[in-house]
Amino acid sequence: MTATPPRPRRSVLYMPGANERALEKAKSLPTDALILDLEDSVAPDAKAEARERVAAAAASGDYGHREVTVRVNAPGTPWHADDLKAAAQAGPDAVVVPKVDSPRTVHEVEAALEAAGVPDRTAIWAMVETPVAMLDARAIVAASERLTVLVLGTNDLAKELHAEHVPGRAPLLTGLSLALLAARATGRVVLDGVYNDVQDLDGFEAEARQGRQLGFDGKTLIHPRQLEPCNRIFTPAPAEVDRSRRIIDAFEQATSQGRGVVTVDGRMIENLHVDEARRVLALAEAVAGR
């Protein structure tokens, strides 16, 4: 079920499922994807009402190009089963499942969704948020073809590690890297976790750049003001697009002439550079198509 060419998931914005105004506002926000949330942002006594509101929003078709997903409450909570059933019947682009710690959880979620009549097109996004999940990330992501995206839950991971939130995220880098390796080994998308201080856009930009440098496909967000820098950072820059085109052109010309050595800007080009250039161009074209 892995998408080819890539679907942009530069910015993935959480929206509180209990807030009708927020769900309406989301229809006009420049985000690639939405996570309509039934978990952390919804108080226990508002869960049932939020579930109905989110299911209606997910089924509405009113969000244009934006990928619409629903985050259910975690396995083991009183709301999990009803959330899965409602989400399956609404048929969003994906169901986001928090606290996924094992392949068994993926299998149970998939079975429950299919029993509730989920459409084939609805994917599973698994949130990995604990040391156990990081250590078992490859087995988790490979558990189902319906699972297409890993989402990092960095706040919970920091809590479980007894780690501090510090610039550069040194305490989390091992976990982030394990999740990235698992996603790339299995051909899945992987999304960085949230940045908590919505007033600190400089700090957000630094963390988003780090995420892109590490290899994440995009970042989850908690406020619309984070959208512009996030989209900008995860979009290939014009110079990057230009160099990618020149790499492909030079390689194809050399191949047609039977030459084995290709250089661009003084650097030797190999097949791996051409593959990366094609990935960059595909993403740039997909973004431009928005």
Output the CA angle 233-237-239, nearest 5 degrees: 150
pLDDT band at residue 6 using 50, 70 and 90 as cut-offs: confident
Q: Are 124 and 109 a contacting pair, CB within 8 Å?
A: yes
State the Cα–Cα distance between residues 94 and 97, nearest whole angstrom.
9
Return the pLDDT at 5.
60
Q: Which tens digit of pLDDT belongs to each residue from 131-143? A: 999 999 999 999 9
Q: Which tens digit of pLDDT belongs to each residue from 209-251? A: 999 999 999 999 999 999 999 999 999 999 999 999 999 999 9
Q: Which tens digit of pLDDT belongs to each residue from 173-192? A: 999 999 999 999 999 999 99
Q: Which helix (H) or strand (E) holds 229?
A: helix 227-234
pTM beyond 0.75: yes
List the beta bridge partners of residue 96: 71, 125
For the residues 33-45, what does the mean pLDDT come to? Answer: 96
pLDDT band at residue 1 using 50, 70 and 90 as cut-offs: very low
DSSP-derived letter for residue 67 is: E
Taking phi over 0 as left and psi of -120 to 50 as alpha, with beta for the rest, 91 belongs to left
In the chain, pLDDT over 70 holds for what percent of residues?
A: 98
